[in-house]
Amino acid sequence: MQPLLTIKNLSIQFKNEGPATTVVKNSNIEILPGEIVAIVGESGSGKSVTALSLLQLLPSSAVINGEILFTENNTATVDLLKLSGENLRQIRGSAISMIFQEPMTSLNPVFTCGRQIMETIQLHQKVPAKIAKQKTIELFEKVKLPDPSSILNRYPHELSGGQKQRVMIAMAMSCNPSLLIADEPTTALDVTVQKTILELIKELQFNMGVILITHDFGVVADIADKIVVMYKGEIVEQGTAKNILQHPQHAYTRALLNCRPALHPKGMRLPVLSDFIENGKTQALHNKPQIQSPISNDAVLEVQNLKVYFPLKKSFFSKNQQFFKAVDDVTFEVKKGETVGLVGESGCGKTTLGRTILHLIKASSGKILLNNKDITRLNDNAFRPIRKNLQIVFQDPYGSLNPRLTIGDAIVEPLKIHGILSNNAQRKERVTELLKKLICYPNILTGIPTSLVVASVSVFVLPVP
Ligand SMILES: Nc1ncnc2c1ncn2[C@@H]1O[C@H](COP(=O)(O)OP(=O)(O)O)[C@@H](O)[C@H]1O
Ligand SMILES: [Mg+2]
């Protein structure tokens, strides 16, 4: 069979200030029509950059070498890297479409969901508005959105994360692409929603080739035909999903598979890649003994009979105030060194509980104790010095980091606010040191690790009481 896409000797460099950095080296990938190819690898390994290069979406500082040959339905083969102007526009969003990680930022907030999809259909298929609308409703039905005609008139912020990603999938599917690129399409979603979205992609796939970028091997095992493993910009191994999962050859692939947390007993530090490999290619798999993280009997956090009620709008005639019970009589504790998982489907109160512990929402009743000190009803001033002992990592790194600050400045900020260390030079030095500890290369930050780094740096820097 003629491959749909052939990536040949692809290399990508970035030329910013300083020496050029190579982020993709000599990649070769082939995708057949109807095939789901998963690209896996840790953050920063070059997955997204590879995907973006297919549609020439990289900034002008990128220098790209190699060929990306695309052959749609036995038509003439084109090199995507050589396309320009109208020819490129024809391919983008029509023959090849993309779904991104973050549905919140991919949809335009000022237009209704319906309008955004109708626009794409009208643009590429040159049909009148009425037909575009009909097609949009059909697409919403296909992606199993509830009440499609009402979603047509709703704005993105009126939908849940999972629903928004369904709208994005509908948009991507709207022009029957022959290749779909999905860059971590489920990372920002609830675990319960993740699976249904992936099943949906698989179900709608028909004869379409799919490049699925992910760092989650669970996802891969479920739906991929082929797996490509990337490490520091290089493809270290590729093959059928079954082969790679059952007989991984490369030390890095084995290390990745070994890092899946579910395999490990509780109460131990989670394994990281450096437990298994040292130098990517050369180092054989070795197992360092797991470090036991001691769980003490002292509670760090105690939540007792916590209730968070939100008043509902009172109707003119009703005498009693009604409440929405977001958190209703919750009691639990977290011991030193212990990790407590809080699970439940969307809307069950997880986030409200977290925000209440952090003093971002007022508790209606009950108690919150941090290191045996009751912090439930402290006023904002009294709570401020305590805030540095409670840190949160939000779901969405893009929304959590100020885009105007460099990563360094973003991390220095909490240190300044809490008056830690005496001057900025010292703080900067501390941040660099911590960045080195937390990730292998401080200048390389992509996606989720960035916000994790920011939060964990605060945790590491701030003195534990
Ligand atoms: N615009 C850019 N300028 C310079 N370096 C970049 C740019 N975009 C990405 N990079 C670097 O390219 C490498 C690969 O990033 P990426 O493809 O986003 O990784 P991931 O595998 O997590 O998707 C990283 O080292 C990243 O810092
Ligand atoms: Mg990425």
Q: How do the pLDDT tens digits run along the chain, 465 residues long?
A: 889 999 999 999 998 777 888 999 999 999 999 999 999 988 889 999 999 999 999 999 999 999 999 998 778 899 999 998 888 988 887 899 998 877 767 788 899 999 999 998 998 888 999 999 999 999 998 888 888 989 999 998 888 778 888 899 889 888 889 999 999 888 767 666 777 778 888 888 878 999 999 877 777 887 899 999 999 999 999 999 999 999 999 888 888 887 776 655 666 666 777 777 765 544 544 455 555 666 778 899 999 999 999 888 777 777 788 888 989 999 999 998 888 888 877 678 888 899 899 998 999 999 999 999 999 999 988 998 888 888 888 766 666 777 787 878 888 888 888 888 889 889 988 888 887 766 544 333 444 444 455 544 444 444 333
Q: Among 11, 14, 450, which residue has the most ligand 1 atoms within 8 Å of its CB, making it the best to mutate?
A: 14
Residue 239: both structure tokens together? 């093959």
Instruction: Tell me, using a 6 A CB cutoff, whether residue 444 lines ligand 1.
Output: yes
> CB of 209 closer than 6 A to ligand 1?
no
Among protein residues, the one with the nearest Cα to ligand 1's atom 9 is 49
Closest ligand to the CA of 450: 1
* Distances 225 to 4, 35, 336 between C-alpha atoms, Å: 15, 6, 43
Q: Which of 230, 446, 451 to mutate to test the pocket of ligand 1 (most atoms within 8 A of CB)?
A: 446
Q: Give residues with Cβ within 8 angstroms of 343, minimum separation 6.
A: 191, 350
**448: closest CA among 402, 400, 406, 415?**
400
CA 144 – CA 155 distance, rounded (Å): 18
Q: Is 59 left (phi over 0), alpha (psi -120 to 50) or beta?
A: beta
In single-letter form, the type of residue at position 382 comes to A
Ligand 1 centroid to 20 CA: how many Å?
Answer: 13
Ligand 1 and 447: CB distance under 6 A = yes
Q: How high is the pLDDT of residue 394?
A: 74
Ligand at shortest distance from the CA of 100? 2
Say yes or no: CB of residue 446 within 6 Å of ligand 1.
Answer: yes
Does the beta carbon of 59 sit less than 6 angstroms from any atom of ligand 1? yes
CA pair distance 14, 233, nearest whole angstrom:
12
Q: Which domains does the chain have, with CATH numbers?
A: 5-258 (3.40.50.300), 294-383 (3.40.50.300), 391-465 (no CATH)
The Cα 97–Cα 91 span in angstroms is 8
For ligand 1, whether the C-beta of 45 sits within 6 Å is yes
- Tokens 């396309």, located at residue: 83
Nearest bound ligand to the CA of residue 449: 1
458: its two tokens: 């605060």
**Closest ligand relative to 50 C-alpha:** 1
Strand locations in 47-168 (E): 62-70, 78-79, 96-99
Q: What is the layout of strands, in order, in the sheet containing 78-79? A: 21-31, 5-14, 62-70, 78-79
Q: Decide: 7 and 70 in contact? Cβ < 8 Å.
A: no
Which pLDDT belongs to residue 135?
93
Ligand 1 pocket, residue 148 CB under 6 Å: no
Residue 335 has which token pair? 């011991």
Residue nearest to atom 1 of ligand 1 (CA): 59
Question: Which atom of ligand 1 lies at the shortest distance from residue 50's CA?
Answer: 17
Report the candidate in 336, 334, 313 with the shortest Cα–Cα distance to residue 323.
313
Region of residue 165 (phi > 0: left; psi between -120 and 50: alpha; otherwise: beta): alpha
By CB atoms closer than 10 A (0-12, 13-18, 19+), residue 355 is middle
Q: Is 322 helix (H, G, I), strand (E, B) or coil?
A: coil
CB 98 within 8 Å of CB 183:
yes
CA gap 93, 100 in Å, rounded? 13
User: Which strands form 96-99's sheet, in the order they lie side by side?
Assistant: 96-99, 179-183, 209-214, 36-40, 226-231, 234-240
Classify each residue of 289-319 as buried b or exposed e, where b means 16 or more C-beta atoms within 10 Å of its C-beta.
Answer: eeeeeeeeeebbbbbbebbbbeeeeeeeeee
Closest-CA residue, ligand 1 atom 16, reads 46
